[in-house]
A and B are shown apart, each in its own frame.
Chain A
Amino acid sequence: MTAADFSLFLPLAVLLIWATVLLIVDLFIPKERKGWTASLSALGLALTLFLSLRQWGETASGFGEMLRVDPFATFINALLLLSGLGGVLLAYGSIRRHGVERGEYYTLLLFSVSGMMLMAQARDLILLFLGLELLSIPLYVLAAFALPRLDSEEAGLKYFLLGAFASGFFLYGTALLYGASGTTLLSGIAQAWSQAGRNLFFLVGAALILVGLGFKVALVPFHMWTPDVYQGAPTAVTGFMAAGAKIAGFAALWRIFTEALPGLAPDVTPILWALSALTMLLGNLLAIAQKNVKRMLAYSSIAHAGYILMAFVPFGVPQVRDVALAAGLFYLITYAITNFGAWAVVSALERQAGQGLELDDYAGLGSKAPALALAMTVFMLSLTGVPPTLGLIGKFYLFRSVIEAGFYGLAVLGVLTSLISAYYYLRLVVIMYMRPGEPQPVANPWLNLTWGAMAILTVLFSLIPAPLFWWASQSVLR
């Protein structure tokens, strides 16, 4: 271990130490001043973001190849830290109103973000597992954070049981890969693969890892927990979880499969194809039946996991691989921005915890709070993929790269499922504008800032997507 190793590790170390210190500092902050904890956690995230962005362009490994800094990791880190900031904003705007303002919220969030960052940077199975757990365990607690409320508690328990179950699969997969190659380093596994060739350990190990991470990012056969947990968890947590956990899960998936198992592409591609297709189809179809906005957005987030996975289907086609991955990274930005905006609107309408979440509660929003309704319309259009929003650009890049790789069926399915999704997204818009009602949105400055900024970004970046796409294409794993 040298000083160079530690400088690679610096953003993560700063965030972890900051979180630990904040846990203690929070004890001395009086109950009615928890805004301080929120500001301090936001400051920590911003500082880490600054340190992380300073690593932009650097490509190096430290701690005996175990930890990696490359443009991909920097990109994902920046996205995760921004998601963390979004999570703090959402929380500060809502948890006091819901009577669950406790300082630990922000520390748990910081720990979870550091786990996510570790997953993006790890090049070793042990560290990946550690990152997965550091991500998950605080999230279990956060899901149950509105403790006196039964649904939040239930969501926490369900998330815990299924999350721990999934990490069992992930772990068994890593153990088999370790057994097949005799090393836990991703580069070592790739080397062992090229010497030993196909064998059962590699195949079963990769499949189990796919199952484990599939649970985390909510791909279809493994999505059962998502609607319950998203509905029961406090809205602020749901917003953070929907973005952060997905980004980190996909980052780990991409890194494991492109760095350790590139030779497995012919076997994995059909499976990924099927998973992606199923996820898009079922997520969108089940969302139609939902009456609760949180549940509807949960199914929509499942469907979006399918779209993001689409970017990964052509990873065995060398000419298209990089473009497709860039499209996937671009879609992650799209998804994160739209997601935070939509959840901020949901949070603004949730006057009391658990109230104002049905579709009917949105009736009349168009005349009562035009700006809020307009923002929600922008997010719904973006999730559908209608111009002039970022969602369209994201889907366009995705479908184009999939077509270039020759997966026409998947692209057609993507377009068709987007059409299906228009039904339930636009239904909300219709309810907001066409039906009379007396919604009572909360005017919290932080929530206003979140949905306002996200709505502007959604439209703005759709007009000038080039810089973002350039950034994404520079950040592809090589």
Chain B
Amino acid sequence: MIPLSWYLWLSAALFSVGLFGVLARRNAIAILLAIELMLNAVNINLVAFWRYLTPGQMNGQVFAVIVLAVAAAEVAVGLALVISVYRRRQTVVADELDLLKW
């Protein structure tokens, strides 16, 4: 069987990729995608911990499902904000949203 640590490394790597994406990308949609990557990295972590440590309890799975639901709700709001900004400004690049000083 694949050892638990492999999953943890995978999840840490995915989280780091997401983190890099948020910091390096300038497009709001790309940042949003990177944030989703971070949340899903956590999900891998949760499910792996559940499977290896407490397969008898539902905690980890329930947590992962709740994370999925919350992430979906968050994206719904986020995309709405992105679209409304795009309609008025014709851009969603973070550098160009400079009405307020960053």
Residues of A within 8 A of B (CB): 125-126, 129-130, 133, 137, 140-141, 144, 147-148, 150-151, 153-158, 160-161, 164-165, 167-168, 171-172, 174-176, 178-179, 182-184, 224, 227-228, 231-232
Residue of A126, A151, A227 with highest tally of chain B CB at under 10 A: A126
Which residues of chain B come closer than 8 Å to A232, judged between CB atoms? 99-100
Closest CB in chain A relative to B12 CB, distance in Å:
9
Whether B84 lies near A147 (C-beta < 8 A) is yes
Whether B102 lies near A228 (C-beta < 8 A) is yes
Which residues of chain B come closer than 8 Å to A155, judged between CB atoms? 100
The yes or no answer to B17 lying at the interface (CB within 8 A) is no
**Which chain B residue lies CB-closest to A168?**
B38
- Residue count of chain B within 8 Å CB distance of chain A: 41
Given contact pairs A129-B67, A179-B53, A172 touches B100 in the complex (Cβ within 8 A): no
Closest CB in chain B relative to A156 CB, distance in Å:
5
Whether A141 lies near B77 (C-beta < 8 A) is yes
18 contacts between A and B (CB under 8 A): A137-B73, A137-B74, A140-B78, A141-B81, A150-B99, A160-B77, A160-B81, A161-B22, A161-B35, A164-B78, A165-B22, A165-B38, A172-B38, A174-B63, A178-B49, A183-B54, A228-B101, A232-B100
A232 to B84, CA, bound (A): 15
Which residues of chain A come closer than 8 Å to B101, judged between CB atoms? 227-228
Which residues of chain A come closer than 8 Å to B35, judged between CB atoms? 161, 164-165, 168
Closest CB in chain B relative to A381 CB, distance in Å:
29
A125 to B45, CA, bound (A): 15
The yes or no answer to B10 lying at the interface (CB within 8 A) is no
Whether B77 lies near A157 (C-beta < 8 A) is no
Given contact pairs A171-B42, A172-B45, A140 touches B81 in the complex (Cβ within 8 A): yes
Given contact pairs A137-B77, A168-B18, A184-B63, A154 touches B100 in the complex (Cβ within 8 A): yes
The yes or no answer to B24 lying at the interface (CB within 8 A) is no
Q: Kindly identify which residue among A141, A147, A178, A224 contacts B59, using a CB–CB cutoff of 8 Å.
A: A178
Which residues of chain A come closer than 8 Å to B63, judged between CB atoms? 125-126, 129, 174-175, 178, 184
B62-102 toward A: CB 8 Å interface, digit per residue (1/0)?
Answer: 11001100100110011001101100110000100101111
Give me the 8 closest cross-chain CB pairs, A-B, nearest first: A168-B38, A179-B49, A228-B100, A175-B45, A182-B53, A171-B42, A133-B70, A182-B54
Within 8 A of A (CB), among B32-57: 32, 35, 38-39, 41-42, 45-46, 49, 53-54, 57
A140 to B28, CA, bound (A): 15
Whether A231 lies near B100 (C-beta < 8 A) is yes
A160 to B22, CA, bound (A): 13
Whether A133 lies near B74 (C-beta < 8 A) is yes
**Which chain B residue lies CB-closest to A140?**
B77
Which residues of chain A come closer than 8 Å to B60, judged between CB atoms? 178
Q: Kindly identify which residue among A130, A158, A175, A179 contacts B66, using a CB–CB cutoff of 8 Å.
A: A130
A176 to B11, CA, bound (A): 11
Q: Kindly identify which residue among B49, B53, B73 contacts A133, using a CB–CB cutoff of 8 Å.
A: B73
Closest CB in chain B relative to A367 CB, distance in Å:
33
**Which chain A residue lies CB-closest to B75?**
A164
Which residues of chain B come closer than 8 Å to A164, judged between CB atoms? 32, 35, 74, 78
**Which chain A residue lies CB-closest to B50?**
A178
Whether B100 lies near A126 (C-beta < 8 A) is no
Which residues of chain B come closer than 8 Å to A144, judged between CB atoms? 81, 84
Which residues of chain B come closer than 8 Å to A228, judged between CB atoms? 100-102
A129 to B35, CA, bound (A): 16
Q: Name 6 extra pairs, CB < 8 A, besides A129-B63, A158-B97, A171-B67.
A: A126-B62, A154-B97, A160-B77, A161-B31, A172-B42, A178-B60
Which residues of chain B come closer than 8 Å to A158, judged between CB atoms? 97, 100
Whether A168 lies near B42 (C-beta < 8 A) is yes
Which residues of chain A come closer than 8 Å to B31, judged between CB atoms? 161, 165
A165 to B81, CA, bound (A): 16
Which residues of chain B come closer than 8 Å to A141, judged between CB atoms? 77, 81
Closest CB in chain A relative to B61 CB, distance in Å:
11
A135 to B73, CA, bound (A): 13
Closest CB in chain A relative to B75 CB, distance in Å:
9
Given contact pairs A153-B88, A155-B100, A182-B53, A176 touches B45 in the complex (Cβ within 8 A): yes
Which residues of chain B come closer than 8 Å to A172, judged between CB atoms? 15, 38, 41-42, 45
Which residues of chain B come closer than 8 Å to A183, judged between CB atoms? 54, 57, 59
Which residues of chain B come closer than 8 Å to A167, judged between CB atoms? 74
Whether B32 lies near A161 (C-beta < 8 A) is yes
A224 to B23, CA, bound (A): 13
Whether B38 lies near A153 (C-beta < 8 A) is no
Q: Kindly identify which residue among B38, B49, B99 contacts A151, using a CB–CB cutoff of 8 Å.
A: B99
Whether B32 lies near A129 (C-beta < 8 A) is no
